[in-house]
Structure 1
Amino acid sequence: MIELAVAALAFVGFHLVPSSPLRGWAVKRFGEPVYLLAFSVISTVTLVWLVIAFYDVPRGAQLWYPGPIWVWVQAILLLFAFALIAGGLGRPNPSSVGQGKAVQRVDVSKGIFAVTRHPVMWGIGIWGVTHIISQPSLRALLFFGALIVVALLGSWMQEQRKAREFGEAWARWRAKTSFWPFAAIIAGRNELNLRAIGYHLLVAAVLLWLGFLHGHAWLFGVNVLPYLGF
């Protein structure tokens, strides 16, 4: 458990670097291509370490017991998470590493970004929260909690840097979108348009969702289908 805690701290600490002054120093000292390469390598190493440490720790005692209806709620939330991830990866994403200039696109506030400025990170965050609820243990809190912190706190901190970097273009995008899912739509600053998201990306999300449901036992050793009545 100690190694998992250390791995979680290392994973979180390193992934907050892009939102700190250390990023500016590293880019100035080594250049952006070298910084991005080093970030990708270290990011992968810390993630692999976190995963290995997670699987080395026994499940342990459950901290609470989700009700029987939870498995259906989780399945629906995960479908939404896959839609966010597919939509965010399938379009130029100003919030992604190296894609900040996409904020200057005329149509950047449409599609999945009408839902949230950070669709991929919110997809990961929702995935993490649902897994903590379904696997309520200290082991799960450390592992999935680290992913949630990096996804959501990292995204929020990143916005401050990108606001300084892209100035008026970021301010215009921010005015039409929201950090919290659906907040801009509810406030009337934007509208949900499935065609703008891309039907092909939504179909891809459904297929990935079905694939993970059916392949969960093979990939992660837990068969979720019986709980869903399949």
Structure 2
Amino acid sequence: MFLPNWLTPSHFVILGMLFGFAIVHSGGAALRHKVEKYIGARLYRILFASLSLPLALLMIVYFFNHRYDGLQLWQIQGVVGVKATVWTLSAISFFFLYPATFNLLEIAALQKPQVHLYETGIIRITRHPQMVGQVIWCVAHTLWLGTTFTIVTSIGLILHHIFGVWHGDRRLKYRYGEAFESVKQRTSVIPFAAILDGRQSIQWQEFISFAYLGVTIFIILLWWSHPLLMRVTSEIRL
């Protein structure tokens, strides 16, 4: 069986990378409760990050280097308004991908990492903001690049995060039981669904925090440094 010329090996490499990352990331999350009993929460977080972050950085560099691989299905980068739309969607995606539910001190293991049951801020909009943010990011970048490689990457990322919805709810149910079921009834996976049907309401004051300010600063820095990031990653041959 012969594959079409446009179906480059990079399509399969990125899927392999995504699958490997999913095993490490989701597998590590599944084992957290058991492993923490033996090595403690801080050491677990350090080991988890030391495995997950290099894989994530590797995928990012590989994606940047191969984003135009495969078949170019559309090219609309020169169309008026497309660039602004892509940047706007990308900025919105980061507010979902990195919400204030993350305690930076816990991520860095400066404080004891814990599993939290949140129902404030962006969780009122969707119980799984990372999944929503990833979908928005994928839509924006697929629109901008229009290549089969980007589509394959986006499908892989979205499938991983959809699995994460089930997996995350399962772990919270195991840890919190009926308390999680109560939160689940008051929130929704689909953005704004719980708000529209009256189960939830937005409390805008919850978005006034250093965490969301930090995300805003990150977005501005990313916008400013994006050309430099492109040049630096292009020097890394993967």
Q: Which runs of 5+ in 1 are unaligned?
A: 222-230
Residues 47-66 of structure 1: CA deviation (Å, up to 9, x unaligned): 23323433453623322334
- Structure 1 equivalent of residue 56 of structure 2: 47
- Structure 2 equivalent of residue 158 of structure 1: 168
- Structure 1 equivalent of residue 122 of structure 2: 112
Report the RMSD for the aligned CA atoms in angstroms. Answer: 3.4
8 Å contact from structure 1 (residues 115, 177) kept in 2: yes
Residues 8-41 of structure 1: CA deviation (Å, up to 9, x unaligned): 2212333332565xx2796389556465443322
Q: Structure 1 residues 144, 192: closer, same or farther in 2, change over 3 A?
A: same
Q: Structure 1 residues 158, 86: closer, same or farther in 2, change over 3 A?
A: closer
1:129 to 122, 139, 143: 139
Structure 1 residue 206 displacement after superposition:
3.5
Q: Structure 1 residues 146, 58: closer, same or farther in 2, change over 3 A?
A: closer
Aligned-residue sequence identity (percent) comes to: 21
TM-score normalised according to structure 1 size: 0.73
Q: Does 1:175 align with 2:190?
A: no
Q: Does 1:191 align with 2:201?
A: yes
For 2:199 and 2:114, the matched residues in 1 are separated by: 24
Equivalent position SS for 1:220: helix
Q: Does 1:57 align with 2:66?
A: yes
8 Å contact from structure 1 (residues 7, 53) kept in 2: no
Q: Does 1:82 align with 2:94?
A: yes
For 1:58 and 1:129, the matched residues in 2 are separated by: 14
Residue 84 of structure 2 aligns with an amino acid whose one-letter code is W
- Structure 2 equivalent of residue 99 of structure 1: 114
Structure 1 residue 114 displacement after superposition:
0.9
- Structure 2 equivalent of residue 27 of structure 1: 35
- Structure 2 equivalent of residue 226 of structure 1: none
TM-score normalised according to structure 2 size: 0.71
- Structure 1 equivalent of residue 7 of structure 2: none
For 1:77 and 1:90, the matched residues in 2 are separated by: 24
For 2:40 and 2:211, the matched residues in 1 are separated by: 31
Residues 88-147 of structure 1: CA deviation (Å, up to 9, x unaligned): 336999xxxx532x32xxxx4232221112224432332233112212223323444443
Q: Structure 1 residues 209, 110: closer, same or farther in 2, change over 3 A?
A: same
Which deviates more, 210-219 or 160-169? 210-219
Residue 183 of structure 1 aligns with an amino acid whose one-letter code is A
For 1:155 and 1:15, the matched residues in 2 are separated by: 13
Structure 1 residue 167 displacement after superposition:
0.3
For 2:67 and 2:168, the matched residues in 1 are separated by: 34
Structure 1 residue 193 displacement after superposition:
1.9
- Structure 1 equivalent of residue 4 of structure 2: none
Structure 1 residue 157 displacement after superposition:
1.9
Q: Structure 1 residues 70, 14: closer, same or farther in 2, change over 3 A?
A: same
